[in-house]
Structure 1
Amino acid sequence: MEETTGSDKKYETATFAGGCFWCMVKPFHKYEGVIEVISGYTGGHVPNPTYEQVCSETTGHYEAVQVIFAPSVISYQEILEIFWQSIDPTDAGGQFGDRGSSYKTAIFYHSEEQKALAQASKEKVQREGPFETPIVTPILPAAAFYRAEEYHQDYYKKNPSHYGRYFVGSGRAGFLERNWGNK
């Protein structure tokens, strides 16, 4: 398991692609035990890509977030539940208003344990719903993760009005409320 040790605390890393990374930070920030959520790019073939390069759909990267968390406070299973309830796992073409490969969903595992837990959680979501169509979110080995430009970090805090309009206007807010009861 990928771990960071600092003063007597042990942290783990979880990496997810869930469409626009602006909308993937806030859901995790609400929970005790989440230390940091970093917006970035992963899964591609160009080192240190820029936002413009990733948006051009030529680098192979996903917009993604890395969640640094304390497993003694919040489990990886709980982190997975937050992820599932923040996306449409049945959409193979992107997420909501954002289309293209950089906006597809994925779970990037950092250990065999994370891989097994992610697979079990995917099977549970498929079995228990709320979706009737197949879950298409792949479970992939973690790759190099590149931190996005600073203006993308914690976007919902820096630009709350724009973030709110985007969250609703993209269709994400309505979808999550209809399927998960999220407000």
Structure 2
Amino acid sequence: MEKATFAGGCFWCMVKPFDSWDGIHKVTSGYMGGHIDNPTYEDVKKGTSGHLEVVEIQYDPSIFPYKELLQIFWQQIDPTDAGGQFQDRGESYKSAIFVHTEEQRKLAEQSKEQLAASGKFSKPIVTEIRDAKTFFEAEDYHQDFYKKSPDHYKEDRVQSGRDEFIDKHWK
């Protein structure tokens, strides 16, 4: 098993796209990148902890390669938005790829360059590529939110504008 960690705004919206593929063993909502230990959701939401909302994906690279995880990631976010993602604004909702290995860094940088060169977006790609740090698992009520509260999840996605953006740029 290997780990991949992505920040794409609200972690509720980032679990489902990765959760149902062969080779993906677990997708966990959490926090990464900040300066305090054991942050709570409230700490992160205030924007003072330095943490981003992330999903940590445990996967088997022989079944589901990291390159494919990157493709899914890019198609869930607005990579040109430095101020957050969709309706979720602020530091904790910025997009980022947290790399665990040099191979992941190389592939992440290549995929970012390819997206920038594609002409798909008129603005620069601002998603950061950062070194992975300690992952802090989010509170239990955040885990598998799309399964626990499907109506709230669907409503949140519609209100956020995420699905409209995805349809416009990726469908």
Task: Give the TM-score normalised by structure 2.
Answer: 0.99
> How far apart are 1:30 and its partner, in Å?
2.6
Q: Which residue identity does 1:122 align to in structure 2?
A: K
> How far apart are 1:131 and its partner, in Å?
1.1
Q: Which residue identity does 1:135 align to in structure 2?
A: I
Q: In the alignment, does 2:78 pair up with 1:68?
A: no
Q: Which residue identity does 1:95 align to in structure 2?
A: Q
Over the aligned positions, Cα root-mean-square deviation in angstroms equals 0.6
Look up the match of 1:114. Answer: 104
What is the rounded CA distance, in whole Å, between the counterparts of 1:12 and 1:132 in structure 2?
34
Match of 2:28 among 33, 38, 45: 38
For structure 2, the 5+ residue unaligned runs are none
Look up the match of 1:22. Answer: 12
- SS of 1:20 mapped into structure 2: coil
What is the rounded CA distance, in whole Å, between the counterparts of 1:71 and 1:125 in structure 2?
22
Q: Which moved more, 1:32-41 or 1:125-134?
A: 125-134
- SS of 1:59 mapped into structure 2: coil
Map Cα deviations across residues 44-98 of structure 1 (whole Å, 9 max, x no partner): 0010000011101110000000011111111000000000001000000000000
Q: Which residue identity does 2:21 align to in structure 1?
A: Y
Q: Which residue identity does 2:16 align to in structure 1?
A: K
CA contact (8 A) 1:19 1:98 kept: yes
Q: In the alignment, does 2:63 pair up with 1:90?
A: no
What is the rounded CA distance, in whole Å, between the counterparts of 1:60 and 1:110 in structure 2?
19
Q: Which residue identity does 1:154 align to in structure 2?
A: D
What is the rounded CA distance, in whole Å, between the counterparts of 2:43 and 2:140 in structure 1?
16
- SS of 1:71 mapped into structure 2: coil
Q: Which residue identity does 1:168 align to in structure 2?
A: V
> How far apart are 1:129 and its partner, in Å?
3.8
> How far apart are 1:104 and its partner, in Å?
0.1
Look up the match of 1:161. Answer: 151
Q: In the alignment, does 2:160 pair up with 1:176?
A: no
How many residue pairs get aligned? The number is 171
Sequence identity (%): 58
Look up the match of 1:151. Answer: 141
For structure 1, the 5+ residue unaligned runs are 1-10
- SS of 2:18 mapped into structure 1: helix
Q: In the alignment, does 2:50 pair up with 1:50?
A: no
Task: Give the TM-score normalised by structure 1.
Answer: 0.92
Q: Which residue identity does 1:158 align to in structure 2?
A: K
Map Cα deviations across residues 122-179 of structure 1 (whole Å, 9 max, x no partner): 0011111421210000100001110000000010000000000000101101001111
Moved over 2 A (4+): none
CA contact (8 A) 1:130 1:180 kept: no
- SS of 1:108 mapped into structure 2: strand
- SS of 2:61 mapped into structure 1: coil
